[in-house]
Amino acid sequence: MVSGMERLPFAELCAELVYDELAALQFMKDKGLIHQHRTCARCRQSMVLRYRKDRDDVRWRCCGKQCRKEVSVKTGTWFQGYDQPVRILLFFMRAWSEKLTSLAYCKATFDMSAKVAVKLNAPMRPVAEDWVLRNPVPGGSPGLTVEVDETLFARKKYNRDRGLPQAWVVDGVCRETGQCFLAVLQIDPPLRLSMSSKRT
């Protein structure tokens, strides 16, 4: 089920979370984008989330009285290495899903440099593909139309590189609901079309 916050238009989502780093963090935590729990690498105690008002930042903090080690919430996620607050990264992902990540848009909306905007855009497609592969959604039902496509991935440039295994990928999108799926086929090419239609 889609939560109320996920159904909000982009502008309203921004207004809801623009000043609330903790709410944006909780939203991303609920969606599995950041760690649910962390254990201190130094003393093996559990860590808790703490908001630092002086830095407008949320960090994992060790519960051990002698330790008190702090770790960024971005550490160990694909957000690691970005200085932007979590809420800005959340807005960027939502904007990316609506194709609103031109350099001019990122500068005006998120106050991002061109370098950061390009760096953030680069992993978005692989991250989205990985999520769709890990969270398959059954496509179609009576009365719905699913557009299915197949693609052969094979990496060999100018017939010079060693041949890598070919990978057939089937993807589909439901016209009415917008639900999509990806599936990697582990079968011989002659069978791919008939098998892919059975899988959907």
Same domain, 97 and 8: yes
Residue 167 lies in a domain: yes
CB under 8 A, 24+ apart: contacts of 112-120? 112/84, 116/82, 116/84, 119/82, 120/82, 120/89, 120/92
Instruction: Name the band, by pLDDT with cuts 50, 70 and 90, for residue 200.
Output: very low
| Beta bridge partner(s), residue 149 | 171
pLDDT digits (tens, 9 = 90+) for 150-197: 887 776 666 666 666 777 888 888 888 877 777 777 765 544 455 445
Interval 12-35 mean pLDDT: 75
Assess whether pLDDT exceeds 80 at residue 118.
Answer: yes
Beta-strand (E) ranges in the chain? 47-52, 57-62, 70-72, 146-153, 167-174, 180-185
Same domain, 104 and 59: yes
Instruction: Name the band, by pLDDT with cuts 50, 70 and 90, for residue 3.
Output: very low
Same domain, 34 and 102: yes
Same domain, 184 and 94: no
Instruction: Say what percent of the chain tops pLDDT 90.
Output: 0
Residue 132 lies in a domain: no
Q: Residue 156's domain spans which residues? A: 146-199
Residue 35 lies in a domain: yes
Looking at 78, 96, 127, which one is the last position of a domain? 127
pLDDT digits (tens, 9 = 90+) for 61-105: 888 888 888 888 888 888 888 888 888 888 888 888 888 888 898
Can you tell me the distance from the alpha carbon of 78 to that of 114, in angstroms, rounded to the nearest whole number? Answer: 19
Question: What b/e sequence results for 27-56 when a residue is b if at least 16 CB atoms lie within 10 Å of its CB, and e otherwise?
Answer: bbbeeebbbeebebeeeebebebeeeeeee
Can you tell me the distance from the alpha carbon of 18 to that of 182, in angstroms, rounded to the nearest whole number? Answer: 33
Same domain, 13 and 57: yes
Instruction: Count how many domains the chain has.
Output: 2
pLDDT digits (tens, 9 = 90+) for 28-59: 888 788 888 888 888 888 888 888 777 767 88
User: Angle, to 10 degrees, between the axis of helix 10-17 and the axis of helix 21-30?
Assistant: 120
